[in-house]
């Protein structure tokens, strides 16, 4: 089975809670917070573990918050490996308004990285990459990290027969698209796709057309665009279409994308085709939205939902 290496350069300790109502200028009496380790790659590895798989998580952490994050990961059976950069780890907070059901997410920026920090992390990653590995940089970049940081690792990954699946946001995502990075896989959500394309992308057909364009332009071999409750659009070598999940009652949308990536990566590592992997990711995302905070997907529920995912060619 292919090794999965997840990379998290800007992890966070995630706190999630609820309040009767989120209103200004008042003390909001919240429920006891749930505390989980967070950050894109961290959550991808957690999702893979939830689904019965193995991965190799690498991350940067430091300070009391970082030590708590790592302790929580170890409690979940993961073995995090340091990137050699030990700036204090940030926190993030999500608050669900019980009156409306709306969720508010507050994300701190993370510490500033220096050129030396980037060099240290790069050396650690290159030393950890094994031949044929599926490498997943996921989450935001910290201030000071170049947009090319992960893209510049591709020659070394490709030389060893490995593949990169990128799941990032903001300027780092735009840069990967503009550079035509020739990734193995690239994932984004509908809002990000609209912003990148400069078009509203109304309807699944327009989303699929944009995914085709990205693939044809050399951005990635597999392009996946999450379309919320409608499912995920995938454009790959043999198929373009929608993987539609069963209807579920959402509790929290946090971690749905990371659960998708974890299930998708685990499926690919086991030799399944990209469309089947997308269906497994869609099932895992549906499971994740039914959990509180960042508890992520559940194995039994993901397996059940997988049998209910429909494939719609476009």
Q: Which of 54, 258, 273, 300 is catalytic?
A: 258
| 258 flagged as catalytic | yes
Q: How far apart are CA 216 and CA 177, in angstroms?
A: 12
Residues assigned a catalytic role: 258
């Amino acid at each position: 089975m292919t090794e999965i290496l997840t990379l998290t350069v800007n992890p966070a300790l995630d706190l999630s809670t609820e309040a009767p109502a989120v209103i200004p200028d008042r003390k909001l009496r919240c429920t006891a917070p749930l505390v989980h380790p967070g950050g894109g790659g961290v959550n991808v590895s957690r999702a893979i573990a939830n689904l019965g798989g193995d991965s190799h998580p690498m991350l940067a952490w430091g300070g009391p918050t970082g030590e708590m994050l790592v302790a929580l990961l170890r409690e979940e059976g993961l073995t995090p490996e340091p990137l050699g950069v030990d700036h204090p780890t940030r926190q993030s907070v999500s608050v669900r308004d019980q009156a409306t059901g709306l969720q508010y997410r507050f994300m701190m920026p993370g510490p500033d990285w220096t050129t030396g920090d980037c060099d240290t992390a790069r050396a650690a990653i290159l030393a950890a990459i094994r031949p044929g590995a599926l490498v997943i940089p996921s989450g935001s970049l910290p201030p000071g990290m170049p947009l090319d940081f992960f893209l510049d690792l591709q020659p070394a990954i490709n030389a060893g027969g490995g593949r990169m699946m990128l799941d990032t946001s903001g300027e780092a995502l735009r840069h990967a698209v503009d550079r035509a990075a020739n990734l193995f896989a690239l994932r984004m959500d509908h809002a990000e796709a609209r912003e990148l394309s400069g078009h509203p992308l109304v309807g699944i057909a327009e989303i699929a057309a944009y995914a085709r364009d990205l693939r044809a332009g050399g951005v990635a071999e597999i392009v996946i665009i999450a379309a919320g409750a409608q499912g995920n659009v995938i454009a790959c070598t043999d198929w373009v279409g929608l993987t539609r999940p069963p209807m579920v009652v959402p509790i929290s949308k946090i971690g749905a994308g990371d659960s998708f990536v974890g299930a998708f990566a685990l499926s690919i590592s086991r030799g399944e085709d990209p469309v089947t992997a997308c269906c497994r990711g869609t099932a895992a995302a549906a499971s994740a939205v039914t959990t509180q905070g960042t508890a992520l997907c559940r194995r039994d529920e993901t397996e059940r939902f997988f049998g209910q995912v429909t494939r719609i060619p476009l």
